Amino acid sequence: MKLLLMARFTFREALHKRVVHGVGALSVAFLVLYGFLVWLAYRQLGEMGPAQMMALQFTLLGMNAVSGIGALLAVFLSVGTISSEVEAGTLHAIVPKPLSRRDVLWGKWLGYAAMLSVYVFLLSLAVSGIVALFSGSWSVETVPSALLLVLQSLVLLSLSVLGTTFLPTVANGVVVFGLYSVAMMSGFMEQLGSMIRNEAMVNVGIAVSLLVPSDAMGKLSSSLLQEGRSYVERIGPFMVNSQPSMWMVAYAILYVGVLLVVAQAIFSRRDL
C-alpha cells in the first residue's frame, strides 16, 4: 500500500533530519539535567521526610517539559513537509507516480505521527522512571498521562500539516506556534477563572480549547497524575483546578481527523 510506503519513507527521512538529531541531543541533555536535579532534591528531602509528596511535583515538572519538547518536534518536523518540497521540486517527482495525493499526505502524517508517538511516549516513561528511581514509587497513571501527551503532539502535528498545504514554511511555523501559545494562555486563564470562580474566563478557555485542543490534552495529562492526591500534594505550578472533560479526548481525535481531511482536500486541489 502506497500510503504505508510513504509513511515508512517519511519516518526514515525524519531520522536523517537535523531537527531530529537536535531534539535527540536536547532530550539526552534534558534527562541528565533532570535526573541530576531530582537526585539533588532527594538527597536532601530523604532526610526531611516529605519525599513522597514531592514525587508528584517532579513528575509533573518532567511531563510538562516533555510536552513542550514534543510540541517543538511536532511543528519542526512537519512545518514545511508540503510547502518546502513543492519549492525544492521533490514532490514533482513523487506526485506523478501511481499514487494519490491522499496517500502522499496521510503517509507523511502517519510517518511523523509514528515518530512523535514513540519519542513522546518513551521520554515520558524516562521522566517518570527517573522519579521512580529516587522516590521508590511509580504511578500507573503515567501511561495514560503519556498517551495524552502523545495526542497533544498529534494535534499540533495535524495543525502544522494542514498549514503546510497552503502556507509558506515560515508563515506556517509562526501560525502553529501562535495557536499553541494562545491555547496555552487561555488554558491558564481557564485555571485562574476556575480558582476565582469567574465563569466567563472558564468559558473563553473552553472555547479556545475547542479551537486548538493541544493545551487541554496537556492539562488532562497533568490532572490524571493528580487524581486522588491531597490538596497539599497537588499544590504547585502544575495544579489543575478545572479538569477538562474526558470527552475532550474523543474530541481531539476527531479534530485530528477533520484537520487531515481538510488538508487532503486543499492539497488535492493545489497546483504544484
Partner 1 sequence: MTEGNNASPWGDLAIETRHLRKEFGHKVAVEDLTLSVPRGEIFGFLGPNGAGKTTAIKVLMGLVRATSGSARLLGLPPHDMRAKERVGFLPELFRFHEWLTAEQFLDFHGQLYGMALEKRRGRIPEVLDLVGLRAEAKYLLRTFSKGMQQRIGLAQAILNDPEVVLLDEPTSALDPLGRRDVRDLMRYLKSQGRTVFLNSHLLSEVEMVCDRVAIIDRGRVIATGALQELLAAALEVEIEAGGVTPAALEELRGLSQSVESLDGRIVVRLADREDIPAVAEALMRHGGKLYSLGRRRGSLEDLFIRVVEREESK
Residues near partner 1 (CB under 8 A) are: 2, 5, 9, 13, 16, 88-90, 92-100, 269, 271-272
Contact 192, 109 (CB under 8 A): no
Q: What is the DSSP string of 189-249?
A: HHHHHHHTT-HHHHHHHHHHHHHSTHHHHHHHHHHHHHTT--HHHH-STT--SSPPPTHHH
Least distance from C-beta 72 to partner 1, angstroms? 22
- Min dist CB 182 to partner 1, Å, is 32
Say how far residue 16 (Cα) sits from the centre of its chain: 21
Distance CA 35, CA 16 (A): 28
Nearer to partner 1, 80 or 205 (CB): 80
Closest separation in Å from C-beta 210 to partner 1: 34
Which DSSP category does 271 fall into? -
Residues 65-82 as b or e (16 or more Cβ within 10 Å = b) = bbbebbbbbbbbbbbbbb
CB of 100 to partner 1, least distance (A): 8
**Could you tell me which of 272, 32, 255 has the C-alpha nearest to residue 155?**
255
Measured from the CB atom, the residue of 13 and 233 that comes closer to partner 1 is: 13
Closest separation in Å from C-beta 214 to partner 1: 30
Tell me how far, at minimum, the Cβ of 2 lies from partner 1, in Å.
7
Taking Cα atoms as reference points, which of 182, 128, 142, 164 lies closest to residue 260? 164
Q: How close are the terminal C-alpha atoms of the chain, in Å?
A: 24
Which lies closer to partner 1 via its Cβ, residue 2 or residue 229? 2
Report the interhelical angle of 214-226 vs 51-78 (nearest 10°).
Answer: 160
Q: How far is the CB of 103 from partner 1 (least distance, A)?
A: 9
Counts for the chain of helices (H) and strands (E), in that order: 12, 0
Task: Please identify, using beta-carbon distances, which residue of 49 and 96 lies nearer to partner 1.
Answer: 96
